Chains A and B, each alone.
Chain A
Amino acid sequence: DQQVKQNSPSLSVQEGRISILNCDYTNSMFDYFLWYKKYPAEGPTFLISISSIKDKNEDGRFTVFLNKSAKHLSLHIVPSQPGDSAVYFCAASAGSNDYKLSFGAGTTVTVRA
């Protein structure tokens, strides 16, 4: 069963505007959340993460928000750039001794010029 869900398979946004990607999880043991970005024919690359003790983490144009009570997180990209066009995966891990990541199905972002 999918413990991490990304319900929007695709998102199209105009260059310069904000991209908002959503992710929901079901496992209450998850305490660390990551976003990975993937270009075609390449492996996923780490983008940004957040611990369950925080509700926001910001890194340049990327901000991740966590709502633990709703088991929901989102990634905001602002302003969106053409190079941001990629597949974005939400991932989660449970506990300091659990090293396997559970991934969502991904959201394909297309930034239009």
Chain B
Amino acid sequence: GAGVSQTPSNKVTEKGKYVELRCDPISGHTALYWYRQSLGQGPEFLIYFQGTGAADDSGLPNDRFFAVRPEGSVSTLKIQRTERGDSAVYLCASSPDLAGGPQGEQFFGPGTRLTVL
């Protein structure tokens, strides 16, 4: 079956612009996670959803970052007034239910590479 998909695969924008990154989870997966991977680092947690609600947004770096999942499936990560430091690969993952430990694994998409000039 289809895995997690993310669009666009690459996004180049100018400092100060607004961007939206989309994630389509595996069909039927109720939990969805966003991570950010900067160059030379491992993925860093941003937010996760159980259904439509954000269960934990403690990883969002500041109020320029916001994510939604209005129908409990597709999610959009929104970044306002982008800064050069926002340049990274943004990874989305999903799981049948909340997972990340003995509850099961998170399935990752290929990521969106965001470059802020």
Contact check: which of A6, A36, A41, A98 meets B110 at CB < 8 Å?
A41
CB distance from A63 to the nearest CB of B (A): 18
Whether A43 contacts B31 by the Cβ 8 Å rule is: no
**Contacting residue for A100 out of B33, B110, B111, CB 8 A:** B33
Complex Cα gap A111–B103 (Å): 32
* B108 partner residues in chain A, CB cutoff 8 A: 36, 43-45
- Count of B interface residues, CB-CB < 8 Å: 30
Q: A93 to B100, Cβ gap below 8 A?
A: yes
A103 contacts chain B at the CB level, 8 A cutoff: yes
Given A32-B101, A34-B105; A43-B4 close (CB under 8 Å): yes
Docked-complex contact A101 and B109, CB < 8 angstroms: no
Contact (A99, B42) CB under 8 Å given A42-B110, A43-B108: no
Main secondary structure of the interface of B (DSSP, over half): loop
Output the least CB separation between A108 and chain B (Å): 11
Query: In whole angstroms, how far apart are the Cα atoms of A32 and B43 in the complex?
Result: 17
- Residues on B with C-beta less than 8 A from A44 are 43, 91, 108
- In angstroms, Cα B40 to Cα A104, docked, is 10
Once the chains bind, are B45 and A102 in contact (CB under 8 Å)?
yes
| Set B31, B41, B107: member contacting A99, Cβ < 8 A | B31
For A50-86 the 0/1 string (1 means CB < 8 A from B) is: 0100000000000000000000000000000000000
Confirm or deny: A25 has a beta carbon within 8 angstroms of a beta carbon on chain B: no
What CA separation (Å) do A95 and B45 show in the bound complex? 16
Distance in Å: Cβ of A41 to nearest Cβ of chain B: 6
